[in-house]
Structure 1
């Protein structure tokens, strides 16, 4: 069993160390120690994307993730679970909970209208990524939550930065999307035909 001690490492270091071990060693079993929930979620999801069955044990603030694979090395795929054969589309990255500068109240209204209008992109909208203050749009009291849930239910993959949620103490309040890390975001950028930053 390959063991990785990623305690004290901030995102995306735990996932990067896990990814390196999987790609270089192809272990049938891997154990990763982390000391925060975003890292636990990201490592668990990454191992799942690589064909591992995962089990998570928690002892206080320490998480032990054990991934067990088959006899053969899993087929490598990007961290967000997409293969290279998937059709790249448009990725929209939202980095704030309001649009533009000058008046935050107006900016908040514009952002809500923007989220409501995203469905007009149809199948071209491939990924919706929230970072920094943008993660506030994914929590329980956000005015945009209903529209985001509708987009997700329609098949859109929504990624929400775990480090950002943790920074704003909003991890438990997230109601939509997958908690993600910078490796997933960069991978999505590479696979997208076009990236729109808001």
Structure 2
């Protein structure tokens, strides 16, 4: 049976996430993801290859049809999920990357959204400096962070940073923390990532 994902017009990372959802629910068969740009085609193809599935891409007019085959002979790569879950991410800014703040906010929103769709979830998310702006009222990623918190991800915002930006009363997800707790969470984690 061939499943189809029409991801035309969807921005990154949604074509990959929608394809992964269908693949996760499929024991055997194929998935065809239709995308309207080369970057999305490459990203969906990379996903399939990273899972050890066969991939065939055809271009029809301006669209790309990414055919992914899941079945016998395709052994999905197994992960050490408990070890991968021991990941702590430190958000040092409310933007991702350097250069354009506008682009950085778009990238951060995409990154946090992707965290809600990617398992295993991190153990904890830590917020310092302007990163605390992600956890307060009006944040564009607030719903995603609340979803992660419901899934058991610990969210800690630096109290000194919240005070500095006059945001302590506006904290909308997670809890106020201190430097000792943040250092302890970073040092006790097997895997750390700083953004």
TM-score by length of 2: 0.55
For residues 147 and 94 of structure 2, the distance between their equivalents in structure 1, rounded to whole angstroms, comes to 19
> Counterpart of 1:137?
134
Instruction: Count the aligned residue pairs.
Output: 113
Higher Cα radius of gyration: 2
Q: How far 1:191 moved relative to its partner?
A: 1.2
Q: How far 1:124 moved relative to its partner?
A: 4.7
Contact 2:116-2:147 within 8 A present in 1 as well: no
> Counterpart of 2:174?
177
For residues 179 and 122 of structure 1, the distance between their equivalents in structure 2, rounded to whole angstroms, comes to 26
For residues 114 and 127 of structure 2, the distance between their equivalents in structure 1, rounded to whole angstroms, comes to 16
> Counterpart of 2:115?
118
Bigger relative contact order, structure 1 or 2 (CA pairs below 8 A, ≥6 apart): 1
Q: How far 1:151 moved relative to its partner?
A: 0.5
For residues 103 and 109 of structure 1, the distance between their equivalents in structure 2, rounded to whole angstroms, comes to 10
Q: What secondary structure, in the 3-state scheme, does the structure 1 residue paired with 2:123 have?
A: strand
Runs of 5+ in structure 1 lacking a partner? 1-85
> Which consecutive aligned stretches of 4+ in structure 1 deviate over 6 angstroms post-superposition?
none
For residues 190 and 99 of structure 1, the distance between their equivalents in structure 2, rounded to whole angstroms, comes to 23
Q: What secondary structure, in the 3-state scheme, does the structure 2 residue paired with 1:125 have?
A: coil
For residues 122 and 138 of structure 2, the distance between their equivalents in structure 1, rounded to whole angstroms, comes to 25
Q: Please, what is the CA RMSD of the aligned residues?
A: 1.6
> Counterpart of 1:188?
185
Q: Is structure 2 residue 163 aligned with structure 1 residue 161?
A: no
Runs of 5+ in structure 2 lacking a partner? 1-81
TM-score by length of 1: 0.55
> Counterpart of 2:86?
89
